[in-house]
Structure 1
Amino acid sequence: MLLTPLIKRQLRIFAVLATLALGLAFIHYARVPAMLGVGVYDVTVDFEDASGLYPKAAVTYRGVNVGQVSDLDVTDSGAVATLRIDNGTDIPAGVSAELHSTSAIGEQYVDLVDPTGKDTGSGELLADGAAIPRERAVGMPQITPVLDSLNRLLESVPKKETRAVLDQVDEGLGGSGPELSELVDSSGRLLTEAQAEIDATTSLISALEPVLGTQADLAPETQGYADSLDKVTAALAKGDSADLRALLERAPGGLDAATATVTDLQPVLPMMLANLTTNAQVLNTYLPHVRQILVVYPSEVARALTVLQPRAGQGDVQLDLRGALNNPPSCQSGYLAPTQRRSPRVTTTRKVDRLAHCEAPVDSPVGVRGARNAPCPQSSARGPLPAACGLTFRGGVWPASSGTVAYDLAVGRGDDTAAKDVTTGRSAKADDLWKILVLAPLEAN
Structure 2
Amino acid sequence: MIGVQSHMKTLVAAVRSPETAAEIEAYCAAATDIVSEIKLVDTSIADAPSVINGGADIVVIEAGRAGGADIEALERLCAYVTRGGSFIVIMEEPSADVVRRLFRAGVTDVLPTPVAPMELVAALNAARDREFARRAAAPVAAKGRIVTVVKTAGGVGATTIAANLAGAFARLQAGRVALVDLDIQFGQAATTLDLRPRMNVLDAVRAGARLDPTLLASTMQAHSSGVLVLGAPSEITPLEAINEQFIERLFATLRAVAAVSVIEIPAAWSQWIGDVLDRSDLAVVVAEPTVRSAAGAARIAQSFVDFGLTKLGVYVLVNKYEKTIENNERAKRIAEIFRTKPGGAVRLDAKAAAEAGDRGLLFADAAARTQATKDFETNARNIAATLGIEIAEETAPAPPLERILAGRLGLNRGRNP
TM-score range, shorter chain: under 0.3
TM norm structure 1: 0.15
TM norm structure 2: 0.15
Q: Which has the higher strand share?
A: 2
